[in-house]
Amino acid sequence: MKRIYPDYYDKFHCIADKCTITCCQEWKISVDDDTNRKWKKLLPPDSISEQKKNLTAYTYQKDGARVIRLNKDHRCPFLSDEKLCHLVITYGDSVLSETCTLFPREIHEFSTHDEVALMPCCPAVIDLWREKSIEFPVASAIIDHVSPLFLIRDNLIKLFQDKSLSIEEAFLEGFYILLELYKNQPVTPSQIHEYFSKDTLHELHSALSDIHIPASDTFAECNELLQDLAVNYRKEGLYTRFLQPILTEAEKSSEISHASWDSFCDKMADYDMIFRNFLTNELFSDLIIPANVSNALEHMVMQMQWIIIEYTAIRQSLFLWCSCNGASTLTYETVRDYMVIISRMTGYDDDDIRTYLENSFAELIWDWGYAALIVGTCD
């Protein structure tokens, strides 16, 4: 089976003890059945302070899955003070669960080919995206008999890589086309080519550039969304260091001035490439899933909405961070922290995304106008 991956993929390595936000804390770390069977027969390493009868005794069932029980500081009990794994030190890599072995890699097995990518929940991955624009394999051109969905995805990636458009414009134009394709199913390759043709994109760009959403409306709605997204994490006391200051700021600010938004957008411009890499990577890895879903295009629209929520939540967090710190500059480390934290907070599986969208909005599939409200403009 042919396997395709973005050009940065082989460059990744875990920076372990140098990691600023290790994946071994404040997270649900799953333990698969095969690993659990092995763990029942293994004693905990002597170096762990709280000794139990076997490794399974450090796990429990949560939301239908077996996960490692974190300690009172929300850290994995196997994580050493030097941020190394006691299990790996004692038993070697093969003792790890599938989740720990794979992270931050993501593998999708389609009937025509396999795809692999890395997830943005790891700071070492974001560091790779700081160097240059990512190149993605164009599945619709190199894989035989792929579904037309790959052609849509390849065109959307191209749209987000087009630096003549701002990221916000790419979202609004891409989402508009996606909705049109969704409404006019079944779609053919020639329709997709037509929607993404130079002329159609030019017309669409002119039409959409006449629409202006006040920055204060975008700000107020994104504030609500961010607070809603953070409710459970706040309740469980997770990511407090990152969430507490910005949520306090969100609660006291309901309005912003154009000047403060414009000045924030200037700061964001310094990270344009990294955000484009982040978003194109999300499109590549999330828009199409291998599972047979009854309406694959609906799934694609739903995932696009989720990527919009993820991006606007990061942008909102950074705006609030600048406001509460009175910051005149936005450092790379801050941008990276919030990319990692928000992508961990939004790292839901497909069913959970669907449930979240169904419970939070009047309809599963938004009107284009709602996307325009939360995306707004930032250039």
- Answer whether 288's CB lies under 8 Å from 113's CB: no
Euclidean distance between CA atoms 204 and 352, whole angstroms: 33
DSSP structure class, residue 65 = E
Q: Which is nearer to ligand SF4, 122 or 297 (CB)?
A: 122
Q: Which is nearer to ligand SF4, 96 or 177 (CB)?
A: 96
- Check residue 44 for interaction with ligand SF4 (CB under 6 A): no
- CA 223 to each of CA 120, 158, 246, 324, 354: distance values in angstroms, whole numbers, following the listed order: 22, 30, 10, 14, 21
Structure-token match 């909405």, residue found: 305
With CB under 6 A as the rule, give the number of residues binding ligand SF4: 11
Is the link from the previous residue into 104 a cis peptide, with omega within 30 of 0?
yes
Q: Which is nearer to ligand SF4, 13 or 41 (CB)?
A: 13
Q: Which is nearer to ligand SF4, 264 or 278 (CB)?
A: 278
Q: Which is nearer to ligand SF4, 122 or 318 (CB)?
A: 122
Shortest spacing between CB 195 and ligand SF4, in angstroms: 37
Q: 250-269 b/e with 16+ CB inside 10 Å = b?
A: beebeebeeeebeebbebbe
- Check residue 84 for interaction with ligand SF4 (CB under 6 A): no
Length of the chain, please?
379
Sheet of 105-109: strand order equals 3-4, 114-118, 105-109
Binding track, positions 116-135, relative to ligand SF4; x by CB under 6 A: ------xxx-----------
- Of residues 4 through 23, those in contact with ligand SF4 by CB under 6 A are 14-16, 19, 22-23
Q: Which is nearer to ligand SF4, 14 or 88 (CB)?
A: 14
- Check residue 104 for interaction with ligand SF4 (CB under 6 A): yes
- Check residue 339 for interaction with ligand SF4 (CB under 6 A): no
- Answer whether 171's CB lies under 8 Å from 132's CB: no
- Check residue 25 for interaction with ligand SF4 (CB under 6 A): no
Contact footprint for ligand SF4 (CB under 6 A): 14-16, 19, 22-23, 103-104, 122-124
